[in-house]
Structure 1
Amino acid sequence: MPPLIQSLNTHVDTPAPAPSTRTAMNGPWTSYLPPWLIALTLRHPLASKFAAAATLAVAAYVLLCRKRTAARPLALPDGTRVYSPPFVFQNARYLTVNGKVLRVLHRHGPQEKPAVVFLHGMGGNLAQWAPLMEKVAEYAEVVGVECVGHGMSKDTGRPDDYRTLSMVDDIASALTSTLPPTRDLVLVCHSYGCCMGTYLAASHLGPRIRGMVYLGGRALMPPTAIIATRKLAALPSPILTLLRLYDRWGGINSASVTRYLGPGSPRDLRALQAIWNKHLENTQLKALAGGLQWVGEDEYNKVACPVLVIMGDKDGAVPVGASVEDYRRVLAGKAGTAEPVVVLPGIGHQVMLEATEEVWTRMTRFLVEACGVKLV
């Protein structure tokens, strides 16, 4: 056979060596890839990129949406514990209430004066009350309750525990365990806590409540807002995580911080707010949204005590104009509430932190003039 024909026959008849999968996917991660992924990559050129993207997405979900096993303290970069200011650390304790472990602050005071009870909002904690609590504690008994999963109170993992009326019942039980049953009360509430305080005043605790101060609250919630809240509860956790990350983009100047604080708020307070906004897990937010039951005019009609509302005109968490009008309507005719709403200029949602002195001054004057309660 001529050499040329022999060379051609050799070229045609000799099978080419099988392509090496390791050669087809050379790279630093090749040795870690499973055989099925390598085989899939050989069939479609985009498969490896899709698989890598899917793997990164799963890893991000595991890291960002990991389930919280227990309540944990948060700290600033310098190590400052944001959930335990000195006043809170010295006077708070854990109390088992309705099968839940809640952190309850109790600072004893004069028995002849009403006990002042502080109720935080959604995602709030006792630390947000510390500056105002310290002022009140000089003259009266102080009580504060962290609702389930908030602050240092334990997360039960049960969505029903995060329903509005369930948390209201927890607060009532904590007060019953902490104070004598005949003790008069003054409620100081913030945001969602105003809703829960109204339920307490409309229930069997109503006769004991001498007055209420609402900070940054919302009187009524229209059906459109309720629907939006239900949609939040129905969101898949990965999507909710991405939305929360986008909301926090920008750190202390992000939309999530600006929503709660006015433009003149100090840098350290903005840093604290950025940390507080991250404390609740997705499962807790969804449970709170799904179990939300806002008060209506029927509950306000049952409130017998005077009410003072203090809001900031830079509040981005609640519609200030609509809330002012709603409060004026539902509180009309209440004893001592001729002008129940005060709007502070340049102040955001965290009224008690941004305007502590102003709140203290207006609160003490209101309690004397409208409620007959002299703290100072």
Structure 2
Amino acid sequence: MDRLRTLQLRDRLRELLPPAWPRNWRTASLFTAILGLAFLGILRTRKVLSLTGRREREFVEPGLLAKHSSFASFTTTSGHVYPKIRVFYSAHYQAKKLPKDIPLLVFIHGLGGTAAQFVPLLTSLVNVAPCLAIDLPGCGQSDFKPDNPAAYTTSVFAELVSAAIEHYRDAENNQQVVLIGHSMGCSISALLASSASPLQKTLKLDCIIGMVALSPRSGPFTPREARSVKQLSYLPVPVFDLIRMWDRRGGVNSASISRLVGEFADFETRQLQQRFNE
């Protein structure tokens, strides 16, 4: 009798389910779980955007950065237009009394970073030489424009930095340039500084006399790493946000922060990295 009732209940459920609904309960459970994760991801994304906006409003930038920052539009040699890029530029306060051959120091942040990460260095180096830094598109205070994915490759970022350099350096006195890159900024710097760079044919790079690499990658991606990066690009945004949320478990002691600042970083450094991550 119990078996008969079970079979009747199963048949009744099948009648109620839409024709396209998976008959295999494992598949159905997996499908439901994916929908649930996607829904949670959407809620998480909305919450992150809300918190990020509020934190950006509450955050007060260091005085040096605020005093010497402005917004500019740049067009790269490949035709990409960036309508609103935050630029930090500080000429030496005694520039008229100094030799004309002092180089321009150009700071290039890493993936997801911001020019604000260089404030400890800038505080000292603005007294030595003129300094330039930008927030790359979608980072810091720069707009996430244009929408074309082709405008966000490493080589196009190098073109953007080159355009900023040409706008601010003293070309009339043949001012030279020293690049200071962090993480992905090292790759951008290498594209600009290397004599073997494919950009040598299209950009004016003769003014670059050197580069300083902070935490550069020691070698190219392995085939496995390259495949992993490619696979990440196919993930839906809500799922990617869930992975990021999982990676941030632990707050200032999370894996996402230790990965960048090291296991033995002090609390203040971890707090700063947490703000940049968000």
TM over 0.5: yes
**In the alignment, which residue of structure 1 is the partner of 2:178?**
186
**In the alignment, which residue of structure 1 is the partner of 2:274?**
274
State the 1:72 CA deviation. 5.1
State the 1:166 CA deviation. 1.3
Q: Which runs of 4+ in 1 moved over 4 A?
A: 49-59, 66-69
State the 1:251 CA deviation. 0.5
Question: Do structure 1's residue 108 and structure 2's residue 91 form an aligned pair?
Answer: yes
State the 1:103 CA deviation. 0.7
**In the alignment, which residue of structure 1 is the partner of 2:78?**
none
TM-score by length of 2: 0.73
Structure 2 unmatched runs, 5+: 1-15, 18-24, 76-80, 195-199
Q: CA separation of 1:73/1:276 partners in 2, compared to 1, >3 Å: closer, same or farther?
A: farther
State the 1:168 CA deviation. 1.0
Letter in 1 for 2:168: T
Q: CA separation of 1:266/1:80 partners in 2, compared to 1, >3 Å: closer, same or farther?
A: farther
CA contact (8 A) 2:108 2:182 kept: yes
Question: Do structure 1's residue 158 and structure 2's residue 135 form an aligned pair?
Answer: no
Provide the C-alpha distance between the structure 2 equivalents of 1:63 and 1:158, rounded to a whole number of angstroms. Answer: 26
Structure 1 unmatched runs, 5+: 1-38, 41-45, 279-376
CA contact (8 A) 2:65 2:119 kept: yes
Among the aligned pairs, what percent are the same residue?
Answer: 26
Q: Deviation per CA, 1:225-265, whole angstroms, max 9, x where unpaired?
A: 22221122122223212211111001000000100113332
Provide the C-alpha distance between the structure 2 equivalents of 1:166 and 1:51, rounded to a whole number of angstroms. Answer: 39
CA contact (8 A) 2:44 2:242 kept: no
**In the alignment, which residue of structure 1 is the partner of 2:189?**
197
Provide the C-alpha distance between the structure 1 equivalents of 2:41 and 2:257, rounded to a whole number of angstroms. Answer: 24
CA contact (8 A) 1:72 1:152 kept: no
**In the alignment, which residue of structure 2 is the partner of 1:123?**
112
Provide the C-alpha distance between the structure 2 equivalents of 1:128 and 1:119, rounded to a whole number of angstroms. Answer: 10
Q: Deviation per CA, 1:276-329, whole angstroms, max 9, x where unpaired?
A: 223xxxxxxxxxxxxxxxxxxxxxxxxxxxxxxxxxxxxxxxxxxxxxxxxxxx
Letter in 1 for 2:45: C
Provide the C-alpha distance between the structure 1 equivalents of 2:49 and 2:233, rounded to a whole number of angstroms. Answer: 18
State the 1:68 CA deviation. 6.7
Q: CA separation of 1:50/1:220 partners in 2, compared to 1, >3 Å: closer, same or farther?
A: closer
Count matched residues: 228
Provide the C-alpha distance between the structure 1 equivalents of 2:30 and 2:205, rounded to a whole number of angstroms. Answer: 60
CA contact (8 A) 2:109 2:135 kept: yes
State the 1:131 CA deviation. 0.6
Q: How does 1:8-27 map to 2 (within 5 A)?
A: none
Provide the C-alpha distance between the structure 2 equivalents of 1:162 and 1:51, rounded to a whole number of angstroms. Answer: 33
Q: CA separation of 1:53/1:195 partners in 2, compared to 1, >3 Å: closer, same or farther?
A: closer
State the 1:266 CA deviation. 2.4
State the 1:58 CA deviation. 5.2
**In the alignment, which residue of structure 2 is the partner of 1:241?**
241
CA contact (8 A) 2:37 2:239 kept: no
Q: Deviation per CA, 1:129-157, whole angstroms, max 9, x where unpaired?
A: 00101110011100001111111110023
Provide the C-alpha distance between the structure 1 equivalents of 2:264 and 2:59, rounded to a whole number of angstroms. Answer: 23
Letter in 1 for 2:68: N
Provide the C-alpha distance between the structure 1 equivalents of 2:90 and 2:114, rounded to a whole number of angstroms. Answer: 17
Provide the C-alpha distance between the structure 1 equivalents of 2:153 and 2:185, rounded to a whole number of angstroms. Answer: 13
**In the alignment, which residue of structure 2 is the partner of 1:218?**
217
* Corresponding residue to 1:175 among 165, 180, 190: 165
Provide the C-alpha distance between the structure 1 equivalents of 2:182 and 2:30, rounded to a whole number of angstroms. Answer: 47
State the 1:62 CA deviation. 2.6
State the 1:201 CA deviation. 1.2
CA RMSD of the aligned region, Å?
2.9
Q: Deviation per CA, 1:326-347, whole angstroms, max 9, x where unpaired?
A: xxxxxxxxxxxxxxxxxxxxxx
Q: Write 1 or 2 for the structure with the bigger share of helix.
A: 2
Q: How does 1:349-360 map to 2 (within 5 A)?
A: none
Question: Do structure 1's residue 207 and structure 2's residue 184 form an aligned pair?
Answer: no
Q: How does 1:42-81 map to 2 (within 5 A)?
A: 57=37, 59-66=39-46, 74-75=55-56, 79-81=58-60
